């Protein structure tokens, strides 16, 4: 019975082809910033399109060829995505060789029906079969920077699993790239493709030597980096640290409706109409409190909330519209577990606001400068809560096929405990929170995270 079940869940690859730019760009080396070099691996996102009458006349071959022609056109403008990472001859750091080596597109089929996957917002190991994972043996110069797999399900629905190197794009740039690709596909063109902003690939001011260009009276250190070092030092004596790895975490998605968010705000603010609390920092704090309580950390333990801030408009001058590289740095709030428990939500939300407002041109330069040394993987730090806010990037609205995706699901990230705040396709004012949790904390986290919003 088990073998039959495994066979039924098989995804069979029927075609694998390289995809080259329609118009070849002259070869060049694009210098990457230290922000780009933090995570060169492929980050995956799976789009699910449930069976529809609109797909009746769509064969898998037609869908595949439409995506291929759209990608060829897109790579002509987003030409770095057709290149490869390469070590800089002078310092050994990764840069981007725009050599037109191309992306990879895969066609696949499965007997599985999308309905059998259950709630698409909840991560499923089966999702890993819906993306193409190239073998490159740690040699990034052999790794394609964009890969995609279109899979036709037994029910007639489709998934499109896409991987893109984080050295290429950050979240907003990935969103723009995928929108451009969908707009260029033949299926979209039949409906009238949308005009896309022209990308700017040069890293510009993010390549400047922070030591030479900083104001001597300005910020000299990045708080987020300092807090990470402090957490690592604190964790050095933790005997359980070596037993924590990606497999220790379970990915779960929690849906917070607009009513639940308003309920939390009322409990914090009460009837004081003059007090305005923004929902997102409040939810980040609720998440942090839930994690720390579930872990049962001692009151004197240092804990930290870090969240990504887009620096496009923080730089002087601002980064150009359409900037396609990595432009996010981490803002940070550190305090003890006891203070987290004892201080009011309003007080800590104000600290979050201050941390966000502290991100300036000089902070970014200090942050980039701090990344100048040898890079190493961040060890698992249970005291660290990381938040990545995707709510301004409605990936599910990208119409590779007819209509929006039923769901766009990120797969396991290099730091599994990072919390993604995402739009929900069925509740425009609600939020989906995807987070990796240690298995023994799942029930207690669910209780603490949701107890003030229900």
pLDDT of 196 strictly over 90:
no
Determine the Cα–Cα distance for residues 400 and 52; give it in Å rounded to an integer: 14
In tens, the pLDDT along 299-328 reads 999 999 999 999 999 999 999 999 999 999
Determine the Cα–Cα distance for residues 422 and 433; give it in Å rounded to an integer: 6
Determine the Cα–Cα distance for residues 310 and 325; give it in Å rounded to an integer: 11
Per-residue CA distances from 326 to 143, 205, 337, 451 (Å): 19, 12, 32, 36
Predicted local distance difference test score (pLDDT) of residue 28 = 95
pLDDT of 380 strictly over 50:
yes
| Catalytic residue IDs | 166
The two structure tokens encoding residue 335: 């305090």
Query: How much of the chain, in percent, has pLDDT values that exceed 90?
Result: 75
In tens, the pLDDT along 111-164 reads 999 999 999 999 999 999 999 999 988 888 999 999 999 999 999 999 999 999
pLDDT of 2 strictly over 50:
no
pLDDT of 106 strictly over 80:
yes
pTM: 0.93
What domains are there in the chain, each with its CATH number?
Answer: 2-199 (3.30.559.10), 223-393+408-450 (3.30.559.10)
| DSSP 8-state assignment for residue 29 | E
In tens, the pLDDT along 202-260 reads 999 998 654 545 566 666 789 999 999 999 999 876 655 545 566 689 999 999 999 99
In tens, the pLDDT along 383-428 reads 999 999 999 999 999 999 888 999 999 999 888 889 999 999 999 8
In tens, the pLDDT along 30-46 reads 999 999 999 999 999 99
């Amino acid at each position: 019975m088990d073998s039959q079940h495994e066979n039924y869940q098989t995804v069979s690859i029927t075609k694998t082809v390289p995809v080259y730019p329609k118009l070849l760009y002259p070869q060049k080396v694009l210098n990457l910033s230290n922000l780009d070099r933090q995570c060169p691996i492929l980050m995956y996102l799976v789009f699910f399109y449930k069976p529809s009458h609109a797909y009746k006349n769509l064969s898998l071959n037609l869908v595949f060829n439409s995506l291929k022609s759209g990608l060829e056109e897109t790579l002509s403008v987003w030409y770095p995505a057709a290149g490869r990472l390469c070590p800089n001859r002078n310092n050994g750091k990764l840069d981007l060789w725009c050599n037109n080596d191309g992306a990879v597109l895969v066609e696949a089929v499965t007997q599985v029906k999308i309905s059998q996957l259950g709630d698409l917002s909840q991560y499923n190991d089966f999702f890993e079969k819906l993306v193409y994972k190239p073998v490159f043996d740690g040699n990034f110069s052999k790794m394609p920077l964009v890969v995609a797999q279109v899979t036709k399900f037994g029910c007639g629905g489709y998934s499109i699993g896409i991987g893109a190197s984080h050295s290429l794009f950050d979240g907003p740039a990935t969103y723009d790239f995928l929108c451009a690709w969908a707009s260029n596909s033949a299926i979209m063109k039949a409906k009238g493709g949308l005009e896309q902003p022209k990308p700017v690939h040069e890293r510009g001011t993010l390549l400047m030597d922070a030591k030479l260009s900083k104001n001597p009276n300005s910020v000299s250190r990045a708080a987020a980096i300092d807090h990470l070092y402090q957490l690592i030092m604190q964790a050095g004596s933790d005997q359980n640290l070596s037993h924590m790895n990606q497999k220790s975490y379970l990915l779960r998605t929690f849906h917070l409706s607009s009513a639940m968010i308003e309920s939390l705000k009322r409990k914090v603010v009460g009837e004081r109409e003059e007090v305005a609390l923004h929902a997102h920092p409040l939810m980040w704090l609720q998440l942090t409190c839930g994690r720390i309580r579930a872990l049962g950390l001692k009151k004197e333990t240092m804990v930290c909330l870090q969240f990504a801030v887009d620096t496009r408009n923080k730089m002087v001058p601002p980064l150009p519209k359409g900037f396609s590289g990595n432009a996010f740095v981490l803002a940070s709030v550190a305090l003890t577990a006891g203070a987290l428990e004892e201080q009011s939500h309003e007080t800590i939300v104000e600290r979050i606001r201050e941390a966000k407002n502290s991100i300036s041109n000089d902070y970014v330069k200090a942050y980039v400068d701090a990344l100048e040394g040898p890079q190493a993987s961040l060890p698992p730090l249970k005291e660290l809560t990381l938040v990545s806010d995707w709510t301004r990037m409605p990936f599910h609205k990208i119409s590779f096929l007819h209509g929006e995706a039923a769901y766009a699901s990120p797969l396991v990230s290099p730091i599994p405990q990072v919390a993604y705040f995402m739009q929900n396709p069925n509740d425009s004012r609600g939020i989906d929170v995807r987070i990796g949790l240690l298995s023994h904390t799942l029930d207690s986290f669910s209780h603490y995270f949701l107890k003030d919003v229900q």
